[in-house]
């Protein structure tokens, strides 16, 4: 809070409130679903659709409710299911809290991205990529994924960057192949992870350079994974002469 109180400007990945309005939610939903008679099971292999159906029914929800979802939305739905009935709440997150405090205190708010940009990145990947990603969740259960979330939270709380980096890297190629994924599918997942992390880190680092030049004391609040490793935002900026100190 000392850092927040002394900051003249606050930087976030994006203003998530932009998609929480009625119009914003409608726009996102329209990107998530097929507007014609196309169905999710038409776009996934029988194996991937079976895995998706298993996850949905395990949460007590009829799978037909999501029959017109696009593959990217189906995968994101799987990832969000584990938060239901769990101990970790997105609305209690540090970024969520500071975003709304920034608005209440009328501090300057700067976005590195936009909510729509993030949705466009997710929806812009190929169906084959999400086929592979859904198949990679074959052994997920509500218990196993909630345990992972709790473990990640504990790692974040104690500031263990090495352990966090290891978790964020996800499964190895060998583990994916054990689940039956092909070499091509493993490559698709690697490319997806690069797009979601390394490529965005480059854009964030470049935008931060411009923000830092304005001379204002600025607090940057972005997802922890973007800070990690040589290709994280901090690593990229250090290579260009910036120095950082953990607080």
Collapsing DSSP states into helix, strand and coil, what is residue 111?
A: strand
Structure tokens at 79: 């990832």
Q: Confidence class of residue 169 from pLDDT cuts 50, 70 and 90?
A: confident
Whole-angstrom distance, CA of residue 232 vs CA of residue 97: 24
Q: Is 195 exposed, middle or buried (0-12, 13-18, 19+ CB in 10 A)?
A: middle
Lowest mean pLDDT among 33-47, 73-87, 139-153, 182-196: 73-87
Task: Using the predicted structure, report yes or no on whether residue 116 has a pLDDT greater than 70.
Answer: yes
CB atoms within 10 A of CB 92: 9
Better-scored residue on pLDDT, 27 or 126: 126
Determine the pLDDT at residue 22. Answer: 58
Whole-angstrom distance, CA of residue 236 vs CA of residue 202: 7
The per-residue pLDDT of the chain, averaged, comes to 90
Query: DSSP string covering 220-240, please?
Result: EE--GGGG-STTSHHHHHHTT
Dmax of the chain from CA atoms? Answer: 56
pLDDT digits (tens, 9 = 90+) for 23-41: 667 778 788 999 899 999 9
Interacting residues of 54 by C-beta distance below 8 A, sequence separation 6+: none
Segment (H or E) for 195: none
Let me know: does 86 contact 149? Beta carbons within 8 Å: yes
Lowest mean pLDDT among 18-27, 157-166, 193-202: 18-27
Lowest mean pLDDT among 14-18, 25-29, 65-69, 191-195: 25-29
pLDDT digits (tens, 9 = 90+) for 52-91: 999 999 888 889 999 999 999 999 998 887 777 667 777 7
pLDDT digits (tens, 9 = 90+) for 202-243: 999 999 999 999 889 999 999 888 999 899 999 999 999 999
Query: DSSP string covering 61-101, please?
Result: --GGGGTTB-HHHHHHHHHHHTTTTSS--GGGSHHHHHHHH
Better-scored residue on pLDDT, 87 or 180: 180
Determine the pLDDT at residue 19. Answer: 67
Confidence (pTM): 0.89
* Mean pLDDT across 174-190: 94
* Mean pLDDT across 96-108: 95
Task: Using the predicted structure, report yes or no on whether residue 103 has a pLDDT greater than 80.
Answer: yes
* Residue (of 55, 43, 48) closest to 132 by Cα position: 48
Whole-angstrom distance, CA of residue 109 vs CA of residue 9: 6
Task: Using the predicted structure, report yes or no on whether residue 98 has a pLDDT greater than 70.
Answer: yes
């Amino acid at each position: 809070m000392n850092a927040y109180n002394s900051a003249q400007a606050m930087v976030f990945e994006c203003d998530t409130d932009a998609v929480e309005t009625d119009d914003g939610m409608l726009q996102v939903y329209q990107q998530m679903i097929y507007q014609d008679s196309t169905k999710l099971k038409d776009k996934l292999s029988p194996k991937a659709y079976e895995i998706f159906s298993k996850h949905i029914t395990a949460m007590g929800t009829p799978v037909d409710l999501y029959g017109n979802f696009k593959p990217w939305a189906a995968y994101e739905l799987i990832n969000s299911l584990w938060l239901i009935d769990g101990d970790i709440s997105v609305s209690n997150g540090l970024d969520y809290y500071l975003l709304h405090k920034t608005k209440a205190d009328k501090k300057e708010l700067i976005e590195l991205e936009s909510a729509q940009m993030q949705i466009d990145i997710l929806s812009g990947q190929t169906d084959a990529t999400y086929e592979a990603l859904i198949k990679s969740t074959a052994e997920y259960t509500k218990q196993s994924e909630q345990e992972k979330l709790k473990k990640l939270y504990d790692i974040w709380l104690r500031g263990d960057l090495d352990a966090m980096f290891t978790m964020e890297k996800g499964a190895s190629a060998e583990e994916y192949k054990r689940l039956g994924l092909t070499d091509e599918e493993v490559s698709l997942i690697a490319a997806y992870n690069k797009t979601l992390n390394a490529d965005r880190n480059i854009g964030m680092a470049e935008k931060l350079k411009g923000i830092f030049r304005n001379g204002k004391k600025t607090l940057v609040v972005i997802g922890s994974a973007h800070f990690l490793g040589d290709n994280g935002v901090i690593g990229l900026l250090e290579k260009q002469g910036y120095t950082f100190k953990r607080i």
